[in-house]
Structure 1
């Protein structure tokens, strides 16, 4: 299929794909999810981080192997449709589009909390509008912006770690009692922190825009996930040592709180700017994934056909991008950060459970992962999905039920 007949163009190389994954993950976890995770698991959020990382690694391995065989836009929506059947593909796509739209709202609110405390929602709406204008004009432009975002984010996190460890407040006493929560609290923190790892899916959902996807996607997923895990572990440990879980749990901008607590409080404005930029990067990467999955579902008739349009000049799914932006704006005005993260985590874990189930159906000649990997990923996703806050589980269940009803009505 060529660009002339409605497909996207393969413009992204390995570096571009890694950058897309990093921009989607770094801003989400470091600046947004640590607060809710600390509220759920106290110092045990470090254990939760390790659990979330193991589940994410299983999911990433399954997704990367599937993406190499099915290099199309849509991610698990495409894999489950081919491997499990049309309904399961539809349910995966439905979970992803709704869950990641909530993630976009969470990242916009995180940006607002750092950039303009007290005016979070207004600033978040303006950010959604601005980034939609960037992604509308092409994925190459988006990748270039992403490189700048990743560099600024890593520089900011270096400042945070130095301020946390050398600011005079770091103490092992802040970790006592460890883990400080029961097993359910630790698992709930893992479910919330999984939100921070899920950005590697942006790489797989760009399968139709990546050069040599069979080689590029698995490598890009592994590199991006490894970098982010290392960064998360260092920053989370430093933050807990500096101020303890209680201070993180009660802050809308936890890393700003870490810096302001010590002798390096003067650099807090720098951290605010860096955090705001990182959140924008995550929002940019998330929007890419949601719009591409919406494009794939619209092509198959599961969403309105207008969303399958590809811009004749920029070769982007511009109608889908505009529709996603409109829904994100509504959510930004209606929900809070913790609710958005929990709701998103439940639906995205459902999505990855279906990715692992799809990987179990791969043949040996397709380089399927070792059987234990998708099995562990499937069990892990199901467990963490049921341990996120009860309101998020209930809301996610309602969304899944609504999707099933919509499927049944359409089939009839």
Structure 2
């Protein structure tokens, strides 16, 4: 079903009552792209901490769970699709809120470029064209086609996207189950090259030998969990906006923990953590572990894993567009961005202009990075954890401050609105600062820019660009109600500004 002019709409013009709990969980899981996330990070995590990779994923889950609690409580009180932008503005004022919204946008744009590349490369591998899969121009063009296709799906309506995600996520988990089953069977029958017995030391948080490596691994693991908050950005389109999105976030993170630790243990038991051959610490395999493991583990069924990686990247491409488009919609509704971004399609009830702009900007960034340097594109992915830690941390602090008067009402309020969000925000803040320091090292990533690590320049630079854009927009007449705290403040009603008639809710027609 797609939206029609008779669709029930909320304050910003989005269709209401579209998603239930199951659909929200699917969207949250699909946004993290479980298979793609493992492809992109597992090798680097093992290189950083060796056999402690499983506990690194568990440790990184703790701040994710704490921040998920913050999202749940803030959403319960303010179910607005602007999420971090809206909540941080209500808690700390317009400039902190604006930067929180920018962090969400930056993370989405950067990851879309990498998702597009992975989808493009694996598409050609799937059809047996390995030489074409190594052609940067063809892979880039294919990736742009996938971005455009997923923009079209997102533009046409949330229900179409939900049906697509049900299929794509199911395929991902079937492939992961097959991979784990075959890896365990080969370990049990002595056919594994690594054949490392599962050791409890893999789960020992005190066995890390390199502190910087531990911090790097945790930041990488934050990326692998990132994405569950998409179901919160769809809160206004959910049947029970105040409760379902928060529950879906908690459920999604728990499922992801089980998935990542299970696959990691199976892969380590099969391949080992050596630096040669299929060893997970082999630098040659780090940026695509499954590409190295698919044939030895799955044999003639290797194409299933290739297909799953492609599906995962495509799936996450669509679900990454959703929260960013709704975030910019909310920012424009409250005058934190130009009016055009507030456009909602009159038939499909989707953020039409914001969705299209997300696709255009991501495609331009992707093509530009491929032209300049593939290494810079890889460093941008390594820097992504900074943007994630940045806006998740802001959300955690915003939760504590927003509910500061409620913390003494009950133990539940104290922990879910205060202690847990604060601990999560502090952990992420520390990870942000320590990782930024580590990224200064020219040996950290693949490039050196301005005499320091390119990863640092890209990660911190992308956030500073947001500060510049915010300063420029704040000089425009239309932005004054926002930056003066009039269009959005602590007392503003949820979903819509105080004076809805004064602000745009639906301004463009569409394709």
Partner Cα separation in structure 2 for residue 235 and residue 132 of structure 1: 31
Structure 1 window deviating more from structure 2 (386-395 vs 97-106): it is 386-395
Aligned to 1:379: 426
CA distance in 1, matches of 2:294, 2:222: 25
Aligned to 1:406: 469
Matched, 1:285 2:319: yes
Distance in 1 (alpha carbons) for counterparts of 2:337 and 2:459: 19
Q: Equivalent of 1:314, from 348, 359, 364?
A: 348
Maintained 8 Å contact 1:47/1:186: no
1:112 deviates by 2.8
Q: Distance in 2 between matches of 1:86 and 1:96?
A: 15
Q: 1:39-86 CA distances to partner (integer Å, 9 max, x unpaired)?
A: 333333323212211111111111111111111111111110111111
- Determine the C-alpha separation between the residues in 1 that align with 2:35 and 2:356: 22
Q: Distance in 2 between matches of 1:128 and 1:9?
A: 23
Deviation at 1:100, TM superposition (A): 1.7
* Residue 79 (structure 2) aligns with: 71
Contact in 2 for aligned 1:108/1:124 (Cα 8 Å): yes
Q: Does 1:92 align with 2:120?
A: no
Please state how far the C-alpha of 1:27 moved relative to its aligned partner: 4.0
Q: Do structure 1's residue 171 and structure 2's residue 160 form an aligned pair?
A: no
Evaluate the alpha carbon distance shift between residue 3 and residue 250 of structure 1 in structure 2; reply closer, same or farther with a 3 A threshold.
same
- The equivalent residue for 1:255 is 290
CA-based RMSD of the aligned residues comes to 2.5
Q: How big is the shift at 1:4?
A: 8.4
Following superposition, the deviation at residue 284 of structure 1 comes to 1.4
Q: 1:44 to 1:394 in 2, by over 3 A?
A: farther
Match of 1:358 among 398, 409, 424: 398
Q: Which moved more, 1:55-64 or 1:105-114?
A: 105-114
- Say which SS state the counterpart of residue 229 (structure 2) adopts: helix
Which has the bigger relative contact order, CA under 8 A and spacing at least 6?
1
Separation in structure 1 between the aligned mates of residue 272 and residue 140 of structure 2, nearest angstrom: 28
> How far apart in 1 are the matches of 2:96 and 2:151?
30
Q: Find the partner of 1:153 among 167, 172, 176.
A: 172
Map of 1:82 onto structure 2? 90
Change (3 A) 1:375 1:339: same
Q: Which has the larger radius of gyration?
A: 2
Aligned to 1:21, which of 24, 28, 31? 28
Alignment counterpart, residue 324 of structure 1, candidates 358, 375, 381: 358
Structure 1 residues 176 and 110: CA distance shift in structure 2, 3 A? farther
- Measured in 2, the distance between the counterparts of 1:214 and 1:294 equals 21
Cα displacement string for residues 316-363 of structure 1 (whole angstroms, at most 9, x for unaligned residues): 111111111112112322155642322221111100110001111114
- Find the aligned partners of 1:220 and 1:38 in 2 and give their Cα distance: 30
SS state at 1:145 partner: helix
Tell whether the 8 Å contact from 2:172 to 2:308 is kept in structure 1 after alignment: yes
Contact 1:76 1:354 in 2 (8 A): yes
Aligned residue in 2 for 1:240 = 268
Structure 1 residue 345 corresponds to structure 2 residue 379: no
Give deviations 1:118-137, integer Å, cap 9, x for gaps.
14323222211111111110
Report which stretch shifted further, 161-170 or 323-332.
161-170
CA distance in 2, matches of 1:322, 1:303: 15
Q: Residues 260-279 of structure 1 correspond to what in structure 2 (within 5 A)? A: 260-262=295-297, 264-279=298-313
**Could you tell me whether the CA contact under 8 Å between 1:12 and 1:209 is conserved in 2?**
yes
Contact 1:13 1:211 in 2 (8 A): yes
Residue 144 (structure 1) aligns with: 163
SS of the residue 1:172 aligns to: coil
Instruction: Report whether the alignment pairs 1:127 with 2:135.
Output: no
Q: Which residue of 2 aligns with 1:394?
A: 457
Instruction: Report the Cα distance in structure 2 between the residues aligned to 1:208 and 1:176, rounded to whole angstroms.
Output: 44
Residue aligning to 1:61: 69
Q: Which residue number corresponds to residue 112 of structure 2?
A: 104
Distance 1:113 1:51 in 2: 32
**Secondary structure in 2 aligned to 1:311?**
coil
Tell me if the contact between 1:32 and 1:107 (Cα under 8 Å) persists in the aligned partners.
no
User: Following TM superposition, by how much is the alpha carbon of 1:304 offset from its aligned partner in structure 2, in angstroms?
Assistant: 2.6
- 2:14 aligned to which of 8, 11, 16: 8
Instruction: Tell me which protein shows more helix as a share of its residues.
Output: 1
Q: 1:181 and 1:156, CA in 2 relative to 1: closer, same or farther beyond 3 A?
A: farther
Displacement of 1:38:
2.8
Deviates most, 119-128 or 165-174: 165-174
Judge conservation of contact 2:69–2:417 (CA < 8 Å) in 1. no
* Cα gap change, 1:115 to 1:37, in 2 (>3 Å): farther
Alpha-carbon distance in 2 for matches of 1:376, 1:6: 33
8 Å Cα contact 2:399-2:417 kept in structure 1: no
Q: CA deviation at 1:259?
A: 2.9
Does structure 2 conserve the Cα–Cα contact (< 8 Å) formed by 1:114 and 1:253? no
Unaligned runs of 5+ in 1: none
Cα deviation digits, residues 250-279 of structure 1 (max 9, x gap): 3243123223234x3221111101121122
SS of alignment partner, residue 123 of structure 1: helix
Q: Within 1, Cα distance between the matches of 2:121 and 2:42?
A: 14
Q: How far 1:176 sits from its partner (Å)?
A: 12
The CA distance in 2 between the partners of 1:115 and 1:43, in whole Å, is 32
